[in-house]
Amino acid sequence: MTIELRLSNVDPPASEPKRTIYRDIVNLPDPVKLGLTIRYFNYDDVGLYMQITGSATGYTFGTVNLGLLASGANKYINLDELASRAKPTVAQLPNGEMSENITLTLKGYTDAGYTTLKWTFDRIVTVAWINSADAAFTVDFLDNFDDGTVDGWAVANEADAYNVATISVATDYVLSTPTSCKMTQAGSAVGRARLYKSFNTSSRTIQYAIFDIRLDVAWDYASNWVAEKYIEIQKDAGATLLIHLGKAHDTVNSNYVPIKKWIRLVVPITPSSTVELRIVVDAYYYLIANHCWQYLWLDDFKIISK
Over residues 82-103, the mean pLDDT reads 96
Number of domains in the chain: 2
Q: In CATH, what number is assigned to the domain containing residue 9? A: 2.60.40.10
Over residues 73-99, the mean pLDDT reads 96
> Does residue 101 sit in the same domain as residue 170?
no
Q: For 137-154, b where at least 16 C-beta lie within 10 A, e where not — what string?
A: beebbebbbbeeebbebe
Rg of the chain over Cα atoms, rounded to whole angstroms, equals 20
Single residue among 82, 100, 130 that ends a domain in this structure = 130
> Does residue 288 sit in the same domain as residue 145?
yes
Q: In CATH, what number is assigned to the domain containing residue 269? A: 2.60.120.260
The 3-state DSSP class for residue 115 equals coil
Tens of pLDDT, residues 210-220: 999 999 999 98
> Does residue 142 sit in the same domain as residue 109?
no
N- to C-terminal Cα separation, the chain: 41
Average pLDDT of the chain, as a whole number: 95
pLDDT at 291: 84
> Does residue 120 sit in the same domain as residue 154?
no
Tens of pLDDT, residues 161-181: 778 999 999 999 999 999 999
pLDDT at 1: 63
Which residues span the domain enclosing 218?
138-305
Kindly report the pTM of this predicted structure: 0.94
Which amino acid makes up residue 20? T
Single residue among 69, 103, 130 that ends a domain in this structure = 130
> Does residue 32 sit in the same domain as residue 180?
no
Higher pLDDT, 289 or 15: 15
Tens of pLDDT, residues 240-293: 999 999 999 999 999 999 999 999 999 999 999 999 999 999 999 997 767 899
> Does residue 166 sit in the same domain as residue 293?
yes
